[in-house]
Amino acid sequence: MVHTYGPHIFHTDDESIWSYVSKHGQMMPFVNRVKAVSGERVYSLPINLHTINQFFGLSLGPAAAQALLQSKSRSDISDPQSFEEQALKFVGDDLYQAFFKHYTHKQWGRSPADLPASILKRLPIRFNYDDNYFNHRFQGMPKDGYGAIVASILNHPLIELRLGEEFRRDDAQAPHIFYTGAIDRFYDYCFGRLAYRTLDFEVFRTDGDYQGNAVINYCDSSRPFTRITEHKHFAPWESANFSKTICYREYSREAQPNDTPYYPVNLVAGENTLPKYMARVREETKVTFVGRLATYRYLDMDVAIKEALEAARAWIEMQKHNT
């Protein structure tokens, strides 16, 4: 199984979303344990007690490691706004330079000083040896892939699926539209294009095991890519059968008009275009915008699903109310 759009690990703290997804596909146990290469050394990620000890060449316990990072943290930053301020306050300059600064620059094409602190807050920092990349209670990998889950969701007597049709904003047959495409596209780019990052995957195949892990991040500036994904490690229940392996080298760049948009680009200072589209969104009564592209937010899969279900329920309630 290959993650065509880059590594997607399903994780959530919300039991109802976990059971919704599990109802539509068998979730196999999987815990994402990412490794990081920086300065030609391999470290544990997210930053945890092992990373701190590896990086500083020490054997500290939790309290001593916390004290060490406190001594390195920029205590003069009281209310961090940018990614950079948040990182310097959390972990200090050494770890920021090694793990965050260059990866973030490669990923977003912008200085971490211009990106919001919320991006860094996605990553936990731990003073124990827990190297689970996520903090959530539920985590797994769909045995038959995400496509099978979506197919199961769509397999409903009230859903008719039509593919390859031009989307029309003013479709008279649709009493209500739930729109999941890019928000600027919905309005025919009338206020200009919003910024998105797209990804290029350089696919390579080798014999055996290439890197011994599903995801390895390349955090310094010596390589132009952000990470390498070795897909068979996402499916350990079947990968033992494979003598060959498929990997993706992942490169991020600014999306051009015909590229697939992956990440909305939020900035600390904001910009002028998004509020104009959002003002139009607030005027809509027959359209609901859901998902990462339509709400222009860095949503994870579980939040996108949760908000979509809430939007559907709210609409059903409204229908009941109106009749």
Pairing of the two strands 138-142 and 177-179: unpaired
**Residue of 146, 179, 227, 296 marked catalytic:** 227
Number of residues that bind ligand UDP (CB under 6 A): 13
Q: CB-based burial of residue 315 (10 Å sphere; 0-12 exposed, 13-18 middle, 19+ buried)? A: middle
Indicate the residue among 195 and 281 with the shorter CB distance to ligand UDP. 195
Shortest spacing between CB 303 and ligand UDP, in angstroms:
12
The CA-atom distances, in angstroms, between 142 and each of 96, 97, 157 are 34, 35, 24
Main-chain dihedrals φ then ψ at residue 299, nearest 5 degrees: -90, 145
Residues 248-267, interacting with ligand UDP (CB under 6 A):
none
> For 268, which DSSP code?
T
- Residue 77 interacts with ligand UDP (CB under 6 A): yes or no: no
Pairing of the two strands 196-207 and 215-218: unpaired
298 is catalytic: yes
Question: In the chain, what's the furthest Cα-to-Cα distance?
Answer: 69
Window 193-232: contact mask with ligand UDP (x via CB under 6 A):
------------------------x-x-------------
- Distance CA(43)–CA(102), nearest Å, equals 16
Indicate the residue among 146 and 186 with the shorter CB distance to ligand UDP. 146
- Distance CA(226)–CA(61), nearest Å, equals 31
Binding residue for ligand UDP (CB under 6 A) from 10, 90, 99, 196? Answer: 99
Whether residue 26 contacts residue 142, with contact meaning beta carbons closer than 8 Å, is answered with yes
**Residue of 250, 263, 296, 302 marked catalytic:** 250
- Residue 100 interacts with ligand UDP (CB under 6 A): yes or no: yes
- Residue 107 interacts with ligand UDP (CB under 6 A): yes or no: yes
Binding residue for ligand UDP (CB under 6 A) from 10, 18, 55, 103? Answer: 103
**Residue of 84, 126, 133, 263 marked catalytic:** 126
Shortest spacing between CB 167 and ligand UDP, in angstroms:
26
- Contacting range for ligand UDP; rule: CB under 6 A; set: 58-66, 95-103, 188-196, 234-242: 95-103
227 is catalytic: yes
The CA-atom distances, in angstroms, between 323 and each of 30, 286, 319 are 46, 16, 6
Whether residue 305 contacts residue 21, with contact meaning beta carbons closer than 8 Å, is answered with yes
Q: How far is CA 207 from its chain centroid?
A: 29
Provide the β-strand partners of residue 37: 42, 218
The CA-atom distances, in angstroms, between 296 and each of 78, 117, 208, 290 are 28, 17, 40, 9
Shortest spacing between CB 313 and ligand UDP, in angstroms:
27
- Residue 137 interacts with ligand UDP (CB under 6 A): yes or no: no
- Contacting range for ligand UDP; rule: CB under 6 A; set: 22-30, 102-110, 155-163, 180-188: 102-110
Active site residues: 122, 126, 197, 227, 250, 298, 300
Residue numbers at the binding site for ligand UDP (CB under 6 A) = 36, 45, 99-100, 103-104, 107, 119-120, 122-123, 217, 219
